[in-house]
Structure 1
């Protein structure tokens, strides 16, 4: 009787080719612009408000604790909105502006210009204008930058100055705000034509801050009217 032949080993084939799937999506916020001084002042004001409110609730009499609590409910969202919340996020697809009570998402194709005058502003192709709360402007530094820009270009022999110096010129970039605006403008020019940067502006209201502030205001009005 002939012994059975051993099973033949499978012939190794070529390694499977990696699937040509879409590349992983980049993180949304490649660059974040915020005001460290604004955040520090906001935290300080919040701590101060909580301390005063706690003292009034522990030692106050009659309606004082309720008034202090209503004031905290009103003041805390406003402090957060104007100091801690403002931020500007930028990546290769869009610019997201987080202002005190609104969040504006702008694909780079919809951005027409970014300027720094009395305030930092972004302009859309449709003519809308949005202020960049997270990029504050120092008027003293702006005027100093404008003087240097005028002297460098010698376009104004009478020495007139303006707070709207062109931050495209290196002579005008003396303030941190100018450099931030120049970086944002460069991102808009670089990515404005890419397919991923197309779309329409989107605006969303920060109801998570508006609602408690309105509630605190109504509570104060009710306590004042019934006192």
Structure 2
């Protein structure tokens, strides 16, 4: 009696699909949560204690404000898989196969350019000019130290002049920080993935754009209700 050969390729379970790389703005999420808490706190306070039209105005304001705040702070995200880039912006979801990507640009905003020339902004990967300038200064300082024969970050004692570390009190000899701004590094990762997968058969296709009606519908409803209440007086 023969036993089945479990080591053959046909008997092996399929390899799990690679998980998407997800890029979001922690600062944007934190700001959005804080704003929503404030809006709900003020809104429910007006609903409970208000008189006349005040509770209705508060309700309409919350219906309008909460979806918009969520859309522009918490919602934005970029999902990068082996086959495509999915961009979840405040009011749209754009899916761009890697084969349809014409380029990834970074200037005052980070953008993906489709082969047709259409540009789509990456809301979840905002450009920080301040972080970019700090990274440039680190590169210049490291180059100057290398020219003098000093290993970057190797000098000991004292506080770092650039205020590195938690609370701005870093020590010399500690990690000098990234040589590039974090969002620039994200764009580098996306470019590397696009260059590697652009010719793959599974990464071909057309760009698709879907409007975020789950955000637009309640915001429009809140705006209409607010306009009616204000018009009625």
TM-score, scaled to structure 1: 0.79
Counterparts in 2 of 1:197 and 1:22: CA distance versus 1, 3 Å? farther
Q: Is the alpha carbon distance of 1:18 and 1:114 closer, same or farther for their aligned partners in structure 2, counting shifts above 3 Å?
A: closer
Alignment of 1:138-217 (within 5 A): 138-142=128-132, 174-217=180-223
Runs of 5+ unmatched residues, structure 2: 144-177
Question: Over alpha carbons, which structure has the higher Rg?
Answer: 1
Q: TM-score, normalised by structure 2?
A: 0.77
| Per-residue Cα deviation, 1:57-100 (whole angstroms, up to 9, x for no partner) | 11111000000000000000000000000000001111100000
Any idea what SS the aligned residue of 1:19 has?
Answer: helix
Aligned residues: 196
- Spell out the pairing of 1:48-127 with structure 2 (5 A cutoff): 48-127=38-117
Q: Distance in 1 between matches of 2:183 and 2:210?
A: 25
* Maintained 8 Å contact 2:135/2:180: yes
CA RMSD of aligned residues (A): 2.4
Which residue number in structure 2 is paired with residue 220 of structure 1?
226
CA distance 1:124–1:56, change in 2 (3 Å): same
Confirm whether residue 41 of structure 1 aligns to residue 47 of structure 2: no
| In structure 1, distance between residues paired with 2:11 and 2:108 | 50
Q: Note if contact 1:116-1:177 (Cα within 8 Å) is conserved in structure 2.
A: no
C-alpha contact (below 8 Å) 1:117/1:142 kept by paired residues = no
Gaps of at least 5 residues in structure 1 are 1-11, 153-171
